[in-house]
Amino acid sequence: MSCLDNRLKVLGSSGKLYTCYSSCHFCTCPAFGFTVLQKSESLLCKHILAVYLSQAMGACQELTVSEEQLTNILLAEEEEEA
Ligand SMILES: [Zn+2]
């Protein structure tokens, strides 16, 4: 598996541009490093989620999701795995 596959740029809410590697589940943002890698509190950051959502919809369209919607999606995923 190559980490160079499926590399997408995701524009974060702070205006920073992050690089997400959906094929190996990695993102360059601080949230991924802290909540996912260090604390294992989350399985993915919102940028990777956005990449997965765009792929699931069959297109790399610009996807606008509010923070509230993202929270609901993340919580729903955690409940499924519990
Ligand atoms: Zn990220």
Query: Would you list the domain boundaries of the chain?
Result: 7-81
Q: What separation in Å is there between the alpha carbon of 38 and the centre of ligand 1?
A: 14
For the segment 31-69, what is each residue's pLDDT rounded down to a tens digit?
999 999 899 998 888 888 888 887 787 755 555 667 777
Q: What separation in Å is there between the alpha carbon of 50 and the centre of ligand 1?
A: 9
From residue 22, alpha-carbon distances to 1, 7, 26 in Å are 11, 7, 6
For the segment 2-31, what is each residue's pLDDT rounded down to a tens digit?
344 456 677 777 777 777 776 677 888 899
Q: What separation in Å is there between the alpha carbon of 82 and the centre of ligand 1?
A: 23
Q: What separation in Å is there between the alpha carbon of 28 and the centre of ligand 1?
A: 6
Tokens representing 52 are 């997965």
Closest CA to 31 of 22, 6, 18: 18
As a whole number of angstroms, the distance between CA 45 and CA 53 comes to 12
* Ligand 1 ion local residues (Cβ < 5 A): 18, 27, 29, 32, 45, 47
